[in-house]
Structure 1
Amino acid sequence: MAPPKNERNQVFLGSFIHSKKLDELEYLHNTAVCVDKSGKIVAVEAEHDVEKNLDTLYSKLGWDASNVDVHSTKEGQFFFPGFIDTHIHAPQYPNAGIFGKSTLLDWLNTYTFPMEASLKDLTKARRVYGRCVRKTLSHGTTTAAYYATIDVPATNLLADLCLALGQRAFVGRVCMDNPDMAPADYVDESADASLALTRESIAHIRAIDPDYALVSPVLTPRFAPSCTRDSLRQLGALAAETGLPVQTHLSENVREIELVASLFPEADGYAAVYDGFGLLTPRTILAHAVHLSEAEAGLLARRGSKVSHCPCSNSAITSGEARVRWLLDRGVGVGLGTDVSGGYSPSVLEAARLALLVSRHLAMPHQQPGVSDADRERAKLSVEEVLYLATRGGAEVVGLERRVGAFEVGMEFDAQLIGLGLVEEASAGIKENEGQEDGGEDDGNVDVFGWETWEEKVAKWVFNGDDRNTKRVWVKGRLVHTRV
């Protein structure tokens, strides 16, 4: 099996918005983005009457107009790069919004492990995974770093579905062989067995997508307490052998950190546990990193390991507030994760707005006593910055910064068409249906009156938008979602 290919070249016409750098969005109006059959952007023609000059553009590219599909925006629409979810648990999708009154470790035993174990039933797994992939696509997520379960057939099924539905994905079989930290019916038999099962899943993904063009395996120790030392050692060796990415959890919760310290007393901190087993690499994705020390942040920066910021779950499970600016200032790359189902929403846009709000909590004096007013003010993230984390920042976290995250020549076309609701001027007098829906397309909660700047339109989308604004989604140039 190989990823489906496009049969035709494509031209996308209209307004394109993407991150130029952390704190700056670039607005490209009256622009043509040309995408070849492989899904790669081969030309970006900005700020001229592109529709009248398409023949010239085709000639320059050596394209035949009869084999080109043209997509144009309507009023109130723009193209934006696809979102990158750097941390999501696919088998937990049915539990989104269910976390009770428990903290992290209790929640795992009450809700998470039973749900994950039940997906050994492949009929149930297909139902759950199919819905999860389709739902995340509908929210504009073109790339997702998925945790699966310990079961190989169910993990392989998730990879199959991502490939078939067209979502770019990292799919990891979860490794957990510590019998003291897992239910008796949901644990790997041994470190050797865990490694063998992981190799099985890697082999399957290599078979269905040999170049990892769309779907890649990712080594996935759930978190340090769930794995024995032998398992962590073998996974570190496998990472060195294969060069595959690694994903795990780090410093999410105070009780978890205390547990790690008791289980690994020889290590100088939680991050050092992973480092001691060779699991801190430039391709390592560390979810949460809420309670890092200065030394740990420095270690991550030296190793080139990245952080997935999950503001929704950190708030929902009362884990804490990750200091994104603090991490960035120390040279640690950061992206956004929904962390379904610790997080209640599969939307990266929701994660972006929550990241912005959490950063404002960190700017409040009672949250960081003894911190200067200037440093607290610096903690605040802007609309531009959280959109960077959702796209280019996320691409860096998952190692795809040269392939996706922006509309640049040489990158692959992972994009979403965003449509905002236009409020029409009312005619004089009162119409019969005044106050009723007009029966047109549902553009959700974003109302645009026409006098807003582009920066203001984007801000409205970040704070008020949802999947109703995501009209179409493409991955590698392939249309993978259309809102009916």
Structure 2
Amino acid sequence: MESSHHHHKRNQIFLGTFIHSVKLGELQYMHDTAVCVDKHGKIVAIEPQCDLSNVTEALCQKLSWDAHDLAITITKEGQFFFPGFIDTHIHAPQYPNVGIFGKSTLLDWLNKYTFPMEASLESLPKARRVYTSCVRRTLAHGTTTAAYYATIHVATTNLLADLCHAMGQRAFVGRVCMDSADVNPAYYRDESADESLSRTRASIAHIRNIDPSYALICPILTPRFAPSCTRDAMAQLGALRCSSGLPVQTHISENAAELALVKAMFPECGSYADVYDKYSLLGARTVLGHAIHLTDYEINLISERGAGVAHCPCSNSALTSGEAPVRRLLDAGVGVGLGTDVSGGYSASVLEAVRSAALVSNHRAMPMGKWAETPAEERERAKLSVEEVLHLATRGGAGVLGIADRVGGFEVGMEWDAQLVGLGLVDECPDECDMRDHGNVDVFGWEAWDERVAKWVFNGDDRNVKKVWVRGRLVHERK
């Protein structure tokens, strides 16, 4: 297996157009640019506005590289490099259920579709099929980093980590902790808090063994959500977080029935966010899925603790959970990334989450229900632009996961996690084969670059993802 990690150990130069978010709401377009990536997958030089036809020799000289041992990738017309997408919230074992949510809301859906599927993934052959297809599919959609919830099973959670490592996806892999006998089904839960912790430690040890520096695969502590864990388990997980510095992922404030359940189960805590805070689970690199129905007090607490939110618009629409107040979170200084939330969400594509995030924010701007009294300017502010949602999909997610210094944009010192996006150029007389192969986005050539990006956001799919790299390694290529 090791050999597959060495086939990309060459210096590389990428030439052409690069687009990335420099801050919330601002994309930078770099044309005629050369980006140099060393054998370790790190960006070592960026030459803007150069003559692409003869820049290679000069760059090799400058970097003391051997010009003969070099991989060069050049964008064709209609193509650009974009940072890899970061999925901050996805359930790998639920991948077979994408699109299946019936008429249900969160708690019924867990019992009808989710727990039976997750429980069945104790089987190694079944888990291998499901996890392999999940990682392949997400890579094909340009997801270079994924924060995965696995299941309660150690062996198959470890298998997911192994598969991500072998296939080259950057991943946070969490064994799900759920030991409450009151909330979890008898057939799918940890027997006790101690058992929950010892299984979690076993999975952490496995990941440390395959990737000692967590360069690609990192463990993430994963209490499913407060009601699924006993106080003992949460206290032990909080202590483990404090001693290990590992990130945490969980769910918060997704649905009204869930809020009532939390209130009934934790009467000693003033709010849902307080539950996590009380058990030392709220801090930098805590990723809170959904965060739809938070109070202002909770938003401020989350901001003070430096925790982040995984916004999952597709899932929130599919399960009628609600519309997350993304602008309010951002205004309060809370970091926000995007999650597909497979399979509450119906698609493993972060680009689908990007367009849903834009539409859901538009819904928040419309004068309906309790919003009708809100002043129009304030409602208008709820809207997220194309540039903003693309920021959430890249740098926003990197910030939430605590890896913003390594991925999410193109700067010297960062790692080359990128996708080559190709949009279909319509010729003078488009023929049928032209339409069939190039995907859903038609570019006529007169569009400005920001218009091309908008067309990609609203009509693009995996056919537009031509190549994907993680840490300089080519991990997906569309033939």
Task: Using structure 1 for the length normalisation, give the TM-score.
Answer: 0.97
Q: CA RMSD in A?
A: 1.1
The equivalences for 1:318-333 within 5 A come to 318-333=320-335
Q: Counterparts of 2:75 and 2:331 in 1: how far apart (Å)? A: 38
1:374 maps to 377
Give the deviation of 1:285 after TM superposition.
Answer: 0.1
Q: Counterparts of 1:297 and 1:7 in 2: how far apart (Å)? A: 45
2:211 maps to 209
2:452 pairs with 438, 448, 457, which one? 457
Contact 2:16 2:52 in 1 (8 A): no
2:364 pairs with 362, 365, 369, which one? 362
2:227 pairs with 221, 225, 228, which one? 225
Out of 69-78 and 244-253, give the one that drifted further. 69-78
User: 2:405 matched to 1:410?
Assistant: no
1:104 maps to 106
2:397 maps to 394
Q: Counterparts of 1:295 and 1:69 in 2: how far apart (Å)? A: 52
| Cα shift readout 1:168-198 (whole Å, capped 9, x = no counterpart) | 0000000000011111111100000000000
| Cα shift readout 1:401-443 (whole Å, capped 9, x = no counterpart) | 00000010000000000000111112xxxxxxxx851268712
Give the deviation of 1:366 after TM superposition.
Answer: 1.0
| Cα shift readout 1:197-247 (whole Å, capped 9, x = no counterpart) | 000000000000000010000000000000000000000000001000000
1:431 maps to none
2:147 maps to 145
1:438 maps to 433
The equivalences for 1:30-109 within 5 A come to 30-109=32-111
Contact 2:336 2:397 in 1 (8 A): yes
Out of 59-68 and 437-446, give the one that drifted further. 437-446
One-letter identity of the residue aligned with 2:464? N
Give the deviation of 1:369 after TM superposition.
Answer: 2.7
1:432 maps to none
2:189 maps to 187
2:308 maps to 306
Q: Counterparts of 2:65 and 2:263 in 1: how far apart (Å)? A: 61
Gaps of 5+ in 2: none
| Cα shift readout 1:422-469 (whole Å, capped 9, x = no counterpart) | 11112xxxxxxxx85126871211000010000000000000000000
Q: Counterparts of 2:184 and 2:39 in 1: how far apart (Å)? A: 47
User: 2:120 matched to 1:118?
Assistant: yes
Gaps of 5+ in 1: 427-434
Q: Counterparts of 1:436 and 1:62 in 2: how far apart (Å)? A: 47
Q: What percent of counterpart residues are identical?
A: 69
Q: Counterparts of 1:369 and 1:191 in 2: how far apart (Å)? A: 46
One-letter identity of the residue aligned with 2:142? G
Q: Counterparts of 1:70 and 1:51 in 2: how far apart (Å)? A: 12
Q: Counterparts of 2:9 and 2:393 in 1: how far apart (Å)? A: 30
Q: Counterparts of 1:317 and 1:483 in 2: how far apart (Å)? A: 33
The equivalences for 1:133-282 within 5 A come to 133-282=135-284
Q: Counterparts of 1:282 and 1:480 in 2: how far apart (Å)? A: 30
Q: Secondary structure at the match of 2:188?
A: coil
One-letter identity of the residue aligned with 1:126? R
Q: Counterparts of 2:434 and 2:424 in 1: how far apart (Å)? A: 13
Q: Secondary structure at the match of 1:279?
A: coil
1:475 maps to 470
2:22 maps to 20
User: 2:1 matched to 1:4?
Assistant: no
Q: Secondary structure at the match of 2:302?
A: helix
The equivalences for 1:416-427 within 5 A come to 416-426=419-429
One-letter identity of the residue aligned with 1:27? Y
| Cα shift readout 1:16-51 (whole Å, capped 9, x = no counterpart) | 000011011000000100000000000011111033
Contact 2:314 2:356 in 1 (8 A): yes
Q: Counterparts of 1:229 and 1:301 in 2: how far apart (Å)? A: 24
Out of 143-152 and 177-186, give the one that drifted further. 177-186
One-letter identity of the residue aligned with 1:331? G
Give the deviation of 1:7 after TM superposition.
Answer: 1.9
Q: Counterparts of 1:141 and 1:155 in 2: how far apart (Å)? A: 20
Q: Counterparts of 1:63 and 1:382 in 2: how far apart (Å)? A: 41
Task: Using structure 2 for the length normalisation, give the TM-score.
Answer: 0.98
Q: Counterparts of 1:106 and 1:391 in 2: how far apart (Å)? A: 33
One-letter identity of the residue aligned with 1:200? A
